[in-house]
Amino acid sequence: MTRMGSAVLCCALLTLVPGSPARSADHKQRLEEIRREIEQREARARAYAEEAEGHFQELDAIDRELSETRRSVRRLRQRQQTAEQELEEARAGLAEVTPVLERTRTDLKTRLIALYKFGSTGGIFALYSARDFQAFARRQHGLAQVLERDTSLFRRHLVARNAFVERRDRQQQLMSEIRAARREIGARQERMRRSSVERHNLMSMLRTRSDSELRRAEELRRAARRLEQALERMPSGFTPAAGEGLRPGAVPWPVEGRIRNGFGPQVDPEFGTRIRRTGIEIAAAAGAPVRAVASGRVLFAGWF
């Protein structure tokens, strides 16, 4: 535990005879705390992994939906291309029928004027004012031909007008379909893109948390092994030392430095576990001499 020219002296590990049973019990208690912390972190890691797996299944469903959306987009684009081709044909057809309709309207206008003049001059009565049957037949035949041509003209106008209206409406419909297809394509792609990004980010976060918990659990395992080894090196029994022992407040510092950690419940800065310290940690310069705080026999010395 030496970093940047400084060292931390763990006083609890330079154990004098009178404190050995308490120190062993403290180590065992901390070992149990570490083991519980390992179980908790592994459980959280499994929970994160299971949650990530659940989102992975959702992401798989989104990917399938995205694939279907891509196919739909291709179909929509094909429909858009077809609609654009039909639109060009509709425009061409509209361009063809427009002059026909205009000519028919001109001819119809001329005929309506002629019919008006014919009626205003008593034209129909001329049929009955014929001198003889032959004159009547000729006039009737002539009027029949005029009526037939007018009927044909009106029919052509109706056909041309219907064709114009049909192509115009078809053009407007195709333009609406094309705009709707473009909007649908954009909306589907954006919706699927957002869903995919959200799921990927969530899965990445959960996997990161799971990996972090597993790393912390592995660090705790190594710490637990070191603590178990320390407990194994401790003597199983001891002979109580004679004398008055150490008087509170009168124990000299074993090394010149500053207190890094004190007594009581704390959160371990290295492992993040909640622990109860029964000693202090003193940070000292590297190479600083370490002295015994009293006469006695060292039962255990080591780092944890």
CATH number at residue 135: 1.10.287
CA 3/CA 222 separation, integer angstroms: 20
Q: Describe the strand order of the beta sheet including 281-285 as a list of residue ranges.
A: 6-10, 281-285, 258-261
Residue 294 lies in a domain: no
Instruction: Summarize the confidence of residues 87-97 as an average pLDDT.
Output: 74
Q: pLDDT-based confidence at 271, cuts 50/70/90?
A: low
Q: What is the DSSP letter of 19?
A: G
Nearest to 65 by CA among 171, 166, 192: 192
pLDDT in tens, 205-229: 878 888 888 888 888 888 788 777 7
Q: At what angle do helices 133-233 and 20-120 cross, to 10 degrees?
A: 180
pTM for this model (two decimals): 0.41
Residue 29 lies in a domain: yes
CA 222/CA 125 separation, integer angstroms: 124
Q: What is the DSSP letter of 286?
A: T
Residue 68 lies in a domain: yes
Q: What is the mean pLDDT of the chain?
A: 72
- Clarify whether residues 256 and 141 are in a common domain: no
Residue 297 lies in a domain: no
- Clarify whether residues 160 and 224 are in a common domain: no
- Clarify whether residues 120 and 239 are in a common domain: no
Q: Where among 190, 210, 230 does a domain terminate?
A: 210
- Clarify whether residues 203 and 242 are in a common domain: no
- Clarify whether residues 93 and 153 are in a common domain: yes
Note whether 219 and 68 are within 8 A (CB).
no
Token output for 228? 């178990």
What is the span of the domain harbouring residue 173?
52-210
Q: Where among 210, 229, 249 does a domain terminate?
A: 210
